[in-house]
Amino acid sequence: MDYLPADAVKNVVTLEVDESTTPNQLVDKYRVPRAEVHLVLINGIYVDEVDRDNPLNPNDTLAIWPPVAGG
């Protein structure tokens, strides 16, 4: 939560980005250490570490969590 954009409301923010923007570029833009980025979802679907340099599509929802688990 320390790395959330300042204008985030309830952990959510709408961003205007270029067509070529990737999850990893957004991670770097908001200065989130890559080591803290564990679970990445686009529209609820898991994005493997090797796929995080692929561009986002229009209206995608990107979700990023640090190490988490539960049960």
Partner 1 sequence: MSWTKKILRVNLTEGSVNVEPLNMEWASQYIGQRGLATRYMFEETDPQCDALGPDNKLMFATGPLTGTMASTGGRYSVITKSPLTGAIACSNSGGFFGAELKSAGWDMIIFEGKSPSPVMLNIINDKVELLPADDLWGKSVWETDKLIHEKANDPQTRVAAVGRSAEAGCLYSAIINDLHRAAGRSGVGTVMASKNLKAVSVRGTKGVGNIKDPARFLASTSEQKQVLAENAVTGQGLPAMGTQVLMNVINEVGALPSRNMQDVQFSEANNISAEAMLEPRESDGKANLTTNAACFGCTIACGRISTIDKTHFSVENKPEYWGNSGGLEYEAAWAMGADTGVGDLDALTYTNFICNEDGMDPITFGATVAAAMELFEKGAITTEHTGGMELKFGSAEALTWCVDVVATGEGFGADLGLGSKRLCEKFGDPDLSMTVKGQEFPAYDPRGIQGMGLTYATSNRGACHLRSYTVASEVLGIPEKTDPLVTDGKAGLVKAFQDATAAVDSMGLCVFTTFAWTLDNMAPQIDAACEGDWTVDRLLEAGERIWNLEREYNNRAGLTGADDTLPPRLLKDAAKTGPAEGKVCGLDEMLPEYYGLRGWTTDGQLTDDVRQKFSLPA
Provide the minimum distance between the beta carbon of 63 and partner 1 in the complex, in angstroms, as a whole number. 5
Provide the minimum distance between the beta carbon of 23 and partner 1 in the complex, in angstroms, as a whole number. 14
User: What are the distances in angstroms from CA 20 to CA 23, 54, 69?
Assistant: 10, 8, 31
Site residues for partner 1 per CB under 8 A: 1, 10-12, 38-39, 41, 43-46, 48, 61, 63, 65-71
Provide the minimum distance between the beta carbon of 51 and partner 1 in the complex, in angstroms, as a whole number. 12
Rounded CA separation 3/31 (Å): 7
Rounded CA separation 44/31 (Å): 23
Q: Judged by CB, which is closer to partner 1: 8, or 28? A: 8
